[in-house]
Structure 1
Amino acid sequence: MSSEYYCHPAALCESVHIGARSRIWAFAHVLEGARIGTDCNICDNVFIESGVVVGNRVTVKCGVQLWDGVVVEDDVFIGPNATFCNDPFPRSRQHLAGYPVTTLRRGASIGANATILPGVVIGSNAMVGAGSVVTKSVPPNAVVVGNPARIVGYATGQAASADSVRGFDELGNDQTVDLGVNGASLYRLPNVRDLRGSLSAVEFGLHVPFEVKRAFMVYDVPSREVRGEHAHWRCSQFLICVRGSCAVVVDDARQRREIRLDRPDIGLLLPPMTWGIQYKYSPDALLLVFASEHYDPEDYIRDYDYYRETMEQA
């Protein structure tokens, strides 16, 4: 790496692996062997151990310690006094032969005073709220808060708000609405109401725009749990929340929208190669899903970073 970086006179930089234009400020200590990329900003009173890898354009605010096993990818923000643990059961003068790897993926942000337990992965573009305690891996784009940290939302895409479709009054008189995310669309289903009750109908080939080969239901989901988090190579899906409510995030690696499904006369089409997430289930939620293909584990894409790269190359 280049030696064209700034090290404050009151900082101690023992590593020779510091990238160009990076800045190491007062009272920071970077041990020999640590690797820091280009254009990084390492603020006052930061300690970086010898086995740490820090990518490019990373900001580490004051009072942070990065211990062996921490890997920080490009464009990550780490807020003041965020704490990283690398031993799940520490004892004085007892050291592990190897440390669990804690990874902060590209573009993630860690809020002030958050605590990150060892061995977790903070997904790309995820946001950890201030003071949160992260006990398990955080999905890409997720916003987590609390102790233990729970998903409360998803980061917005570049051109669409994650909360831009709330409920279904926005449909107006239209029977379908394109959400602008890889062909994902809302469909209004027939709804007949009279004194005897209400009836919603689904006619295959008319309301569901593909041949249905499989159907399944999702229910009894703890309200804080997340389902989905994948895309399909070939399979289209049509989602109807026939009871209760849930939120669905649709994502094509360029834009992202969140939709609340809370009526049995509204369906959501997820075309192939659309990343889908379902969460915020009400206790009584019953989600009915029609699929264009039989179950095939090879049809699933479960790694968001791989999905994003595939879509960017398409």
Structure 2
Amino acid sequence: MGAFIHSHALCESDNVGDGTRIWAFAHVLPGARIGEDCNVCDSVFIENDVVIGDRVTLKCGVQVWDGITLEDDVFVGPNVTFTNDPFPRSRQQPESFSRTVVQRGASIGGNATILPGITIGTEAMVGAGSVVTRDVPAYAIVVGNPARIKGYSNTVQMGGDLAVTSPVSSPQLREAESASGVKLVNLNKAIDMRGSLVAGDIESQIPFTPERFFVVYDVPSTELRGAHAHRQCEQFLVCLSGSVNAIVDDGVNRAEYVLDRPDLGLYMPSMTWGTQYRYSENAVLLVLASHLYDGSDYIREYGEFVELALNRARA
């Protein structure tokens, strides 16, 4: 089928995939590699050391500089600004440019600015006009200057009504639509004039014998914790004070819970990608772990986790 090159476009690259359309006043340098079925709109500039996957859309006024990779199905809105040198000087070129990667299915809104050396994760969304200063996790929705996480895309909000657009209060949560093996557990609670007490029974409520615990507190509300999985370790989360939003992901399904009372626990089996964010100012999160700390048990790259999870499901 070949590629369509508009008569007023300048495409110097021979590595342009079938079905790709390059429109008027776009300029593609010789070293660039562009996949199949892409749409390169008017006045786009693509430098040499650039790799663009299949089905990528580049709207008008985008410049893609050396060191940038756009994976399959990425959308880049009009006038998005990429950068590749953290300390640019006129006529002073660095030995190598910072590598920026926009992973599969991510979308970047118009007029956003992407600083150099950043990875924007799978299916993430960057709001229009945002200034992205650090890595964006997979499926995260970020907005503002500097960009901060405001939510997660393609994630079931665990409430009584699955059509809700934001997480709801934890008493209404259901476990049925969550990631595989994740359970929400109501712990034993006793309240009288002397105060309140919460207790959990090992095995019947907490499905493992803890070997370690840690407490997370004084977390700025704009920050996130976790963003990893464990090969063997299971975890049980209880928010003792305040509230925390917890994302669970089994490699296929993602769900978001609000932990906002101390008699509510969230069980995360091994091979669950977990992220906690939106900590309230007074949040105190207790985490019970089934294993002692082992650095080799952590999976910190989301792409590696998804591959391992799918391989385990096929086995």
TM bracket (short chain)? over 0.9
Query: CA separation of 1:14/1:184 partners in 2, compared to 1, >3 Å: closer, same or farther?
Result: same
Q: Secondary structure of the equivalent of 2:96?
A: coil
Residue 55 (structure 1) aligned to one of 53, 56, 61: 53
- Partner in structure 2 of residue 124 of structure 1: 122
What are the superposed Cα offsets for residues 2-56 of structure 1, whole Å, 9 maximum, x if unpaired?
Answer: x810001111111111000000011101111111001100001100011111111
> How big is the shift at 1:169?
2.5
Query: CA separation of 1:119/1:167 partners in 2, compared to 1, >3 Å: closer, same or farther?
Result: same
What are the superposed Cα offsets for residues 128-176 of structure 1, whole Å, 9 maximum, x if unpaired?
Answer: 110000111111111111000111111124xx347756222225xxxx8
- Residues 217 and 288 of structure 1 are in contact (CA less than 8 Å); yes or no, is this contact kept in structure 2? yes
1:212 aligns with 2:210: yes
- Partner in structure 1 of residue 171 of structure 2: 169
What are the superposed Cα offsets for residues 65-124 of structure 1, whole Å, 9 maximum, x if unpaired?
Answer: 001111111110000000001111111121122111111111111110000011111111
Q: Secondary structure of the equivalent of 1:306?
A: helix
Q: Would you identify which runs of 4 or more consecutive aligned residues in structure 1 move more than 6 Å?
A: none
- Partner in structure 2 of residue 202 of structure 1: 200
- Tell me which amino acid in the other structure corresponds to 2:120: I
With structure 1 as the length reference, what TM-score do the two structures score? 0.94
- Partner in structure 2 of residue 142 of structure 1: 140
Taking the aligned partners of 2:178 and 2:277, their CA distance within structure 1 comes to: 21
- Partner in structure 2 of residue 6 of structure 1: 4
- Partner in structure 1 of residue 289 of structure 2: 291
- Partner in structure 2 of residue 89 of structure 1: 87
Taking the aligned partners of 1:208 and 1:111, their CA distance within structure 2 comes to: 43
- Partner in structure 2 of residue 279 of structure 1: 277
- Residues 162 and 249 of structure 1 are in contact (CA less than 8 Å); yes or no, is this contact kept in structure 2? no
Q: Secondary structure of the equivalent of 1:239?
A: strand
With structure 2 as the length reference, what TM-score do the two structures score? 0.94
> How big is the shift at 1:178?
4.2
Higher mean displacement: 86-95 or 53-62: 86-95
- Which runs of 5 or more structure 2 residues have no equivalent in the other structure? none
Taking the aligned partners of 1:177 and 1:248, their CA distance within structure 2 comes to: 13
- Partner in structure 1 of residue 252 of structure 2: 254
> How big is the shift at 1:242?
0.4
Percent identity (aligned): 56
Number of corresponding residues: 306
1:187 aligns with 2:189: no
Taking the aligned partners of 2:184 and 2:218, their CA distance within structure 1 comes to: 24
Higher mean displacement: 195-204 or 72-81: 195-204
Taking the aligned partners of 2:184 and 2:158, their CA distance within structure 1 comes to: 15
Residue 224 (structure 1) aligned to one of 222, 225, 237: 222
Give the RMSD, CA atoms, in angstroms.
1.5
Q: Secondary structure of the equivalent of 1:298?
A: helix
Taking the aligned partners of 2:251 and 2:157, their CA distance within structure 1 comes to: 14
Taking the aligned partners of 1:301 and 1:33, their CA distance within structure 2 comes to: 35
- Which runs of 5 or more structure 1 residues have no equivalent in the other structure? none
Taking the aligned partners of 2:252 and 2:186, their CA distance within structure 1 comes to: 26
